[in-house]
Structure 1
Amino acid sequence: MRGLASFLVAVALALAAPVAASLPEPVKALASGWHTLGSGEARFLGLRLYEAALWVGAQGYREDAPFALALTYTRGFSRDTLVSTSLDEMRRLGGADDARLGRWKAELERVFPDVAAGETLVGVHLPGRGAAFYHQGRLSGEVADPAFARAFFAIWLDSRTRVPALRSRLLGQAS
């Protein structure tokens, strides 16, 4: 009975801890000293949606340096849901006009897969170049547009984000 109790406590602690997805090998080559700056979870109406971790190189978080945002989903989402939610947030934050959002929609549909619970998407900010996306460690595509990259990562990192507590945790500003 004591072994079962220890096992249940260990499982509960593992489920409570943020998931720190590892970075795909091609991402590791972009900078030295990769480490997680912060992590946390996103919830909607009390439901856990995903665990997020912001990875930075030895230089720390800077918009002119590579960084990676890893999202490990706790439930499945269709590509259409990921695309429409991303575009809605980019529009809300004023990242682009309708013509540009239309182009970005096509790009997101190309690089985003459907995701199942437990799967990880990693978005990599490539300064001056755009963004690359990895699903389960494999490159799913790149968007060669620096304005897209700024607008996309602003969903989580802009001060006007809908998830300010997660932003603080990602940036290492809250425990």
Structure 2
Amino acid sequence: MWSSSCSRRPEMARVLRLAMLAGLLAGLLVGAPCHAVGWRDELPQAVALGSGDLRWLGFRIYHATLWAGQRPFQPERPFALQLRYYRNISRERLVQASLDEMRRLGRANVDAATLTQWESKLTRAFTDVAPDDELIGVYAPAHGMRMYNRQGLLADIDDVPLARAFFGIWLDESTRDQGLRSKLLGTAP
């Protein structure tokens, strides 16, 4: 009796390992998102319209690139804004800087409850960044926006007013950095 059960142990262990592996794979597949793997999957025909660096007090903060499927830029159509960072910036600082700029542009002229919701959505969408990290925002008309990093989707935000206010930081006619806006739109000399 003992000898027959010992001879089956390696086979049983192999079957158990295979079953555990199958369970792990099934769990990964069931939990996998149903949307695009990366931002380029959303905008396969997009080309870089323009790019430039944001500087503050002479320090480079990030390199921005505007991607769209058509020239000239049409803000009512899907587009992506890719930011590649030169410095360490916390998620909290990114969120507060974004909200401050939206307020300054008058885009965040909303009630306190909405502003709190926007802060919560942006906090879930952003990550801390380090040099060479990227955050990519994709504007989806009639939906809102999706935020990505190099690993994939960070957040799907179903909020058109927030998306418009957010992308206005760079693309609004009253943006703080007119030179960067012109470079992004491809209109800089």
Q: Please give the alpha-carbon distance, in whole angstroms, between the structure 2 residues aligned to 1:138 and 1:31.
A: 14
SS of equivalent residue, structure 1 residue 99: helix
Q: Deviations over 1:83-105 (max 9, x none)?
A: 00000011111113233211100
Amino acid at match of 1:72: R
For residue 32 of structure 1, report the CA deviation from its aligned partner.
4.8
Identity %: 45
Alpha-carbon contact 1:31-1:58 (below 8 Å) kept: no
- The residue number in structure 1 matching 2:78 is 66
Q: Please give the alpha-carbon distance, in whole angstroms, between the structure 1 residues aligned to 2:181 and 2:71.
A: 19
Q: Would you tell me which structure has more helix in proportion to its own residues? A: 2
Q: Does 1:82 align with 2:72?
A: no
Alignment partner of 1:93 out of 102, 105, 112: 105
Q: How many equivalent pairs are there?
A: 152
> Which sections of structure 1, spanning at least 5 residues, go unmatched?
1-23
Alignment partner of 2:167 out of 153, 156, 160: 153
SS of equivalent residue, structure 1 residue 29: helix
Q: Please give the alpha-carbon distance, in whole angstroms, between the structure 1 residues aligned to 2:44 and 2:136.
A: 18
Alpha-carbon contact 2:136-2:149 (below 8 Å) kept: yes
- The residue number in structure 1 matching 2:49 is 37
Which has the greater radius of gyration? Answer: 2
- The residue number in structure 1 matching 2:157 is 143
Q: Does 1:114 align with 2:108?
A: no
SS of equivalent residue, structure 2 residue 145: strand
Alignment partner of 2:180 out of 166, 171, 174: 166
- What's the TM-score once normalised by structure 2's chain length? 0.76
> Which sections of structure 2, spanning at least 5 residues, go unmatched?
1-35
